[in-house]
Every structure is written in structure tokens, then in C-alpha cells.
Structure 1
């Protein structure tokens, strides 16, 4: 979805003083590298004594070539609507930076943040033009000044002076003229104990309760009609539900681990009702929400858990219930979307691994596992259309590892591992033994 082409004069007429304050450079940056490590750097005072650039930063940001930072201004803490709009702007910006004159450039994730301040992180990109073309800045400024949303974008350009100091210049477009509105030296910075996005997970990825997820989808109703339909269904579910006397077993696992097959077999063996999350009542809209940013996508799946919980409560009064995925998969895939590698996941026992207090809790959660090689072979033999998650798991080995580790760190309840490599009958008997031991 392209930005509308409009002059940005009225954007800057809204008050250059206020705009300049809002666009004050963040204190820290985290640049994601190809191996999923992070390079951190800070911006010093413009009048600070000059210091030679760190060789690692100079190689990433300095010549040859030109490097630019483009980020979306963070929403005010507690402003859910602004967070949703910022996430959608970031997604459209990513699409624009893969088109036209930017196709020759290298694109990497760049995070701007202030240490110790939750909700203040700015999602963005580092755009590196290997050829160092002078027209790249002009094309970015045209993008910056192409509509009212441009007020929420920051553009910076990195350059090295003759003394070897690396600088970041901030740019704006005024009356068709390129205008430098800030300048600061780039300094190396230590990596913080936690990934800068971890403090924001509860408000954007792993929602701690139904109301937090509902607030996100409510902010989406002006531009996603299906969001209101989901909310209407959720509002029909009682808040206080009790499970019945029969056990509730959840089957989790990556795609192609045999999860759906085992779930079907177990339900037949135990004469249990088989359910899945998201439930069929909203499954028709899954592709729509899968195309949205993480905060919207995860809110959709989170509310799907509350919808299926209402079904679980009713069915568990009559028979055992087997659920094909539930909260653990929603949380594990969401956590894995945070940048960096496995080492940047929230540490074990972090609150994001805890089951929501207002969500019906199962008696047992089983996690099916197979080797990466066997899983890939199964995927290829299926010949079915891949989901977004399947494609990501297949293309990104580190993402797969992050999902697996996140599953293993879940608590209250945790996941009981089951090796799904043997024959179908052997796996079924192993699962049934675990169910009988834990639930009967």
C-alpha cells in the first residue's frame, strides 16, 4: 500500500518547535545483523569531543556506501490506538522500502530505544545503499514528506568525517528543500541485559488478559471490519467460566510434527471432543489478520483462545476435551518474533511465560517434537499451502529455535515433551500413557 503523494509543507507548519522536540534522536539504537546478533550504539551530544568510530560500527554505517535510519515514532504509553497505527505505518514503510529505487539497497531491522523506559521503543529500518547513490536520500525524503503520517517518521543519514568520527544527521523536507534538523556523533554502547522490546511484550505480543487483547482489536475496527465481528463473538462469552469434571488436554507443536493426526487419534481413543484454536467461528478471517502487524495478529489469536475456552468449558462437562493448540502456541510464536537470536529471548521464569489468570487452564499440555530434518521432509511431502508460520519456520532456522525454546520455558502449566519421531501408533501410545498418568 503506497503512501499518498502530497507535499509536506502543512506537516512542518504544525509547529517546527514541537516537531523538533518530538523528533529528538533516541538515546540508543539496536541494529539486527544477518546472524541475528545485535549491534548497539548511542548518539552523543553534538558538541561533545570528537571520538574515532568503533571499527565495527564504521563497517556497518560508514563508507563505502551510504546508510540511512528510518524509524516510526513511538506511541505514548497507554495509547493503544496510537500503537496500532504506528505498527501499521511500520508495516507499510517496510513494503515501500522494498520497491522502486530502494530495491538495490540492503534492509535491516533497527530499533531505537531509551534504556529503562518501557513503551518508548521505536521500530524502524537501516537502509544501506552499497553504491552510495546521492539520490537515495532524495527518495527517502520524498517518502518522508508524502502524507500526514510522515509526521511520525524520523530520517537519519550516517557519514564519517575526515577525522574518522561517525555522525548521524537528521533530515526533513521543507518547501521542496532538503533541510538538516539535527546532528550527533555515533558512539558504541553496551548491550542491555534484556532485549529492548522485552518490557513491551505484555502490551503488544503476549497479552496478560482478555481486556488487553480486546483493546487492540477495538482500535482496529475503523479499518478492519472483521475486527468488530471478532469482538462481538468475544463479548458473548461469559467472563467467569468453570471447566467440567472431565480432563482437558492440549496438543502443541510446530507444523508437521504430527500434532493434528495425534490429536484426532487421541480423541477417538478417549471418546473425547476435539477442538482447535483459533476456533472455526473466526477461522475464516485468519488470513486477513495474518497480513497485519504483530500486535494485531497476536490480539486476534489471543481472543481466539478465549473463544475456544468457552467451548472447552461446556464440552468438558460431558466428555474429555482434546485441543489442537491453545495459549502456548500464541505466546511462543509471538515471543519468537522479537528481534535477535535465542540469546535475546526473555529469560526463563519471565512473566510472559506465565498462563493468563483469566483464561481457562488445561489439565495437561503435550508438546510434540521431531528433528528439523524430519519436520522439513514431512512438510515437503504434504504438498499443502503453507501458512505464514510454516514459511517462516522453514526459511529461518533461528526463528524455529526461538519458538522451540519459548515453548520449553512455558510455566503454570508447562509443556510435557513427546518425541513424535517413532511410528504413529507408538506416539499415540506414549501420549495416552502420559494422559492416563496425569489425568486419571
Structure 2
């Protein structure tokens, strides 16, 4: 009898233990959301939220961002859509997703959406998981017009990508709680496939897109950038030519005995004048990145999504590195822009929100790629924003896409400048390019003498 009682007690204890573990797992699944969202607000802050599936009691005491109800709820109507990439997506999948995102962006800026407000929306998995970011949009229709919804469903219905796109629609219930209804196209009909409560979630310590950047914008190696352009050869003929040129460059490069100086800076900070003057003074070879052999294709790649555009500029750096290795055996080398430009513009473009959302100083994203030949010195030319605008106006030249963004978006310019200043190994020596040409040249030559043999 005693043995039977003991056995029964052990079985009961084991059953209770299993139930407790099950409850803990269920609690963990409830507390840790599967997917979160970062919405870029007009003041360049980010509102982070998640979706809690419709269940009894979920709406009791729900915590919502104080501005989410105003931005997403009535009056008016808001819609969300994110372009799925899929777990462990290859570069081909990433390129297709980026092309789709760009196509949707162009469509959402046209009629009948011109009266709507368009904001960046990022979907991500919590916990700094790489390859989890999905880029999308929040479309706010202040008129709550049926035409807007009809046009959205037609636009998404025309996309034949797999997995298919879902459309989120936000609404506020009588208790003031914000909900999202999810719609999907099934057998030619839009059907509701989910309903969830919109709840605030904790802002991650680092921007959620950061783990994704080494495979989408700031490539840590030549092979990573090369894989992107390989996925583009079917619709960009120049991509294959670019790859052929890269493959002709040795992978193991060694700099010659003469110094290599890279000169960086925003447009109209005097790079062209300074690089030419320094080259003449030192009897140095002047190179540019991207190099002349591929520079004629800049317009083609500048019109492509970030992942393709940055792959082009990254591989341009490896081509110019081959030229640097050769020329530095004979004379000093001056390089007009190099890897730092490629990385800083990518960071400013891909990191949504304001200056505070950039990666902190000394983050590994600011480190020079291990397989790219380093310069001996990097100089960053700076002038005040007002003087730079005056210089651009005096040129009378057509603005590049990035230059137009720098002029129209003060926050974007600040993010580029801050990213330059946080670059390491090698870091940038800041040079005030506001004084006369002669004084700036003297400053630059003095820095070169003090830092290069």
C-alpha cells in the first residue's frame, strides 16, 4: 500500500510539473511577441508596437502608444502592408523583395493616393535576429475614402509574388482600443484572415534593421556584394559587365610604399578642388570611386533599390582598390571618396527615424571591411549647411538623388555626417573646408605630412 501511494504521488507530481512547464511556455509565448513593428512618425521618432490576437480579456488594460490611436485610428483610416522576405532568404529573394517595395512606393505616390500620408513601416522579429526585417508602408487616408481601399486592393491583387501580400486595416472600437484587421486575397476574393489588438512594445536597444544591414546595404565583403549583382544580371545587363571587371581584380592586394589618402565629404564641400590641388602638390595619382570604367553606369544603379545600388558602389570600391595597389608602388595616391561614403549613405537611408537611432559609436557596422585595401589617411571635408547650399546653387548642375535628399531632409544630412564621424579603422580626420582654397590645402598637406611617411 505504501508503495502504491508513493507511486501515485510521484505520478501526480510529474503531471503537475508538466502542466506548470506548459503554462510557462504559454506565458512566454504571450509575453514575447512573434513580430513587432516600427512606425516612423513625422517628428522622426519611432513608435514600436505589436499585435495581440483577438481573445477574451486581451483588451483589458492594454497598453498603447499615446500617439498610435491618433495616427492609426479614426477619423480617417490607415492601412499597412509589408513586403515579406522569408526566413534565411537568399540574395535573389532579397533583390525581388526590394524591387517590389520600390514598385509599390512609386505607385503609392501617384493618384489616387496623392491625398494620403505615406510613412515608413518596418516589421521585425524581436531579439536582434538577422534577416528578419520586412520593409513596408503605413498609408493614412484622412478622408476614409472607399476609392483608396479599392485602389489598394487592386494594387496588391496585381502583385503575383509568393508569399502573397496582406493588407492591414486599422480601426478603433467603442472602448477606444485600436485593432488591426488583416486581409488576404484568396481565390480572387479579399477575405479577413485575422484580427488583433495593437499594443505598444518595448523599443529595442538597437534599431531593428541593424542586424539585416550586412546582407542588404553595408556589405562586409566583396563576395556579399557580388552575390547581389549576380541576382540582377537578368534585368540589368551592366551588372554582368561589372562582375566581369571585379573578377579580373586580385582578391589579395597589397599597398605599395607610397601613401594613400582618401578624401570624403558631402557634395559641394570642395572635394574636387581639394583632391586635384593635393594631387598636384604631391605629384600623386588621382582616383575616384566608383572608378571611371564603371562610372557611366551610376545613373542606372542609382535608380535601383538600396541593396542593388549599394552593391554597385561596394564593388566599385574593390575595383578602385586594385588600381590603388598598382599606383601606390609608383607614387602617392589620392582617392575621391571610398568605402566610408558607401557605408554612411547606406546607414542614413536604411536607419529610419532620427539621429538618435543610428548605431552607437564603436559598433562593428562602422568597421572597414577586412578584405578591402585600406588607405593610410581619410580626410572628411565639412562646411556649414548654408554655405553648401549656396555652392550647389552656384554650380547650376542637376542634383543627384542623394543630393536632393540631403537638401530636402535635414535629418538625413545629419545622419550622414554623424556616420562619417563614427567610422573607425580608419577613422576620418575632419577638415573645415570653409576658408580659402589655399588655407584648406595647407591644412590638408599638414595632416598628410603628420600622419603619412
Q: Would you say the 8 A contact 1:75–1:86 is kept in 2?
A: no
Q: How far does residue 341 in structure 1 lie from its aligned partner after superposition?
A: 0.9
Q: Give the equivalent residue in structure 1 for 2:404.
A: 391
Among 443, 446, 452, the residue aligned to 1:430: 443
* Aligned-partner Cα distance in 1 for 2:368–2:184: 45
Q: Would you say the 8 A contact 1:76–1:82 is kept in 2?
A: no
SS in 2 for 1:389: helix
Where structure 1 has 5 or more consecutive residues not aligned to the other structure, the ranges are: 1-24
* Aligned-partner Cα distance in 2 for 1:362–1:178: 56
* Aligned-partner Cα distance in 2 for 1:295–1:197: 13
The answer to whether residue 335 in structure 2 is matched with residue 323 in structure 1 is yes
Task: Pick closer, same or farther for the CA change 1:131–1:395 going to 2, 3 Å.
Answer: same
The answer to whether residue 364 in structure 2 is matched with residue 356 in structure 1 is no
The runs of at least 4 consecutive aligned structure 1 residues that moved more than 4 Å come to none
Among 259, 263, 267, the residue aligned to 1:247: 259
Q: Would you say the 8 A contact 1:66–1:130 is kept in 2?
A: yes
Greater Rg by CA: 2
Where structure 2 has 5 or more consecutive residues not aligned to the other structure, the ranges are: 1-32
Q: How far does residue 405 in structure 1 lie from its aligned partner after superposition?
A: 0.5
Q: Would you say the 8 A contact 2:255–2:373 is kept in 1?
A: yes
The answer to whether residue 80 in structure 2 is matched with residue 72 in structure 1 is no
Q: Give the equivalent residue in structure 2 for 1:314.
A: 326
Q: Give the equivalent residue in structure 2 for 1:42.
A: 50
Task: Pick closer, same or farther for the CA change 1:349–1:54 going to 2, 3 Å.
Answer: closer
Query: Residues 120-131 of structure 1: matches in 2 within 5 Å?
Result: 120-131=132-143
Among 418, 426, 445, the residue aligned to 1:413: 426
Q: Give the equivalent residue in structure 2 for 1:17.
A: none
Q: How far does residue 54 in structure 1 lie from its aligned partner after superposition?
A: 4.4
Summarize deviations over 1:86-117 as a string: whole Å, max 9, x none. 01100001011112221211100001111122
Query: Residues 27-426 of structure 1: matches in 2 within 5 Å?
Result: 27-49=35-57, 50-51=59-60, 53-116=64-127, 117-149=129-161, 151-337=163-349, 338-426=351-439
Q: How far does residue 176 in structure 1 lie from its aligned partner after superposition?
A: 4.7
* Aligned-partner Cα distance in 2 for 1:136–1:312: 54
Q: Structure 2 length as normaliser, TM-score?
A: 0.90
* Aligned-partner Cα distance in 2 for 1:275–1:54: 51
* CA RMSD between the two structures: 1.3
Task: Pick closer, same or farther for the CA change 1:409–1:320 going to 2, 3 Å.
Answer: same
* Aligned-partner Cα distance in 1 for 2:39–2:393: 34
Q: Structure 1 length as normaliser, TM-score?
A: 0.92
Q: How far does residue 188 in structure 1 lie from its aligned partner after superposition?
A: 1.2
Deviates more, 1:404-413 or 1:68-77: 68-77
Q: Would you say the 8 A contact 2:165–2:184 is kept in 1?
A: no
Q: Would you say the 8 A contact 2:51–2:196 is kept in 1?
A: yes
SS in 2 for 1:157: strand
Q: Would you say the 8 A contact 2:262–2:378 is kept in 1?
A: yes
Q: How far does residue 406 in structure 1 lie from its aligned partner after superposition?
A: 0.3
Q: Would you say the 8 A contact 2:269–2:433 is kept in 1?
A: yes
* Aligned-partner Cα distance in 1 for 2:242–2:52: 47
* Aligned-partner Cα distance in 2 for 1:354–1:183: 43
Task: Pick closer, same or farther for the CA change 1:135–1:368 going to 2, 3 Å.
Answer: same
